[in-house]
Structure 1
Amino acid sequence: MTAPKILIAFYSRNGSTEALAKAIAEGAEIEGAEVRLRRAREIVPAEVMAKAAGWAEKAADMNAKYPAPTEEDAEWADAIVLGTPTRFGSVASELKAYIDGLGGLWFQGKLNGKVGSVFGSTSSMHGGNESTLLSLYNPMAHLGLIIVPLGYADPVLFQAGTPYGATHVSLQDAVEPNSKELEVARFQGRRVTTVARRLTFALEAFFN
Structure 2
Amino acid sequence: MTAVKVLIAFYSRNGSTEALAQAIAEGAQAEGAEVRLRRVRDFVAEEVIQSVPGWAANRDRMHAQYEAPTGGDAEWADAIVFGSPTRFGNVSSELKSFVDSLGGLWFQGKLNGKVGSAFCSTSTRHGGNESTNITMFNFMAHLGLIVVPLGYADPAMFRGAGTPYGASSVSGQDNTPPSEDDLEVARYQGRRTAKVARLLSAAE
Please classify the TM superposition score into its range, dividing by the shorter chain length: over 0.9
What letter matches 2:79 in structure 1?
A
- Residue 135 of structure 1 is matched in structure 2 by 135
String of CA shifts for 1:116-171, please: whole Å, max 9, x gaps.
00000000111110010000100000000000000001011011110000000011
- 2:25 is paired with a residue whose SS is helix
CA contact 2:14–2:175 (8 Å) conserved in 1: no
Moved more, 151-160 or 109-118: 151-160
Identity %: 68
Distance 1:173 1:78 in 2: 36
In 2: Cα distance, 1:95 partner to 1:176 partner = 20
Q: 1:165 is matched with which residue?
A: 166
Indicate the residue corresponding to 2:58 in structure 1.
Answer: 58
Give the Cα separation in 2 of the matches to 1:46 and 1:156: 40
Letter in 2 for 1:181: D
Distance 1:179 1:125 in 2: 17
Paired residue for 1:185?
186
Q: Which moved more, 1:54-63 or 1:98-107?
A: 54-63
CA distance in 2, matches of 1:107, 1:172: 41
Q: Distance in 1 between matches of 2:28 and 2:126?
A: 29
Query: TM-score, normalised to structure 1's length?
Result: 0.96
One-letter amino acid of the counterpart of residue 116, structure 1: G
- Paired residues of 1:5 and 1:34 also in contact (CA < 8 A): yes
* Residue matched to 1:175: 176
- Unaligned 5+ segments in structure 2 are none
| 1:37 has 2:37 as partner | yes
AA paired with 2:75?
Answer: E
Listed one character per residue, the Cα deviations across residues 64-94 of structure 1 (whole Å, up to 9, x for unaligned) are: 0000000000000000000000000000010
Segments of structure 1 that go 5 or more residues without pairing to the other structure are 204-208
Residue in 1 that maps onto 2:80? 80
Partner of 2:71: 71
| TM-score, normalization by structure 2 | 0.98
* CA displacement at 1:43 relative to structure 2: 1.3
> Secondary structure of 1:3's partner?
coil
Deviation at 1:48, TM superposition (A): 1.6
Moved over 4 A (4+): none
Q: Does residue 16 of the first structure (1) align with residue 20 of the second (2)?
A: no
Q: 1-side partners of 2:177 and 2:55: how far apart?
A: 17
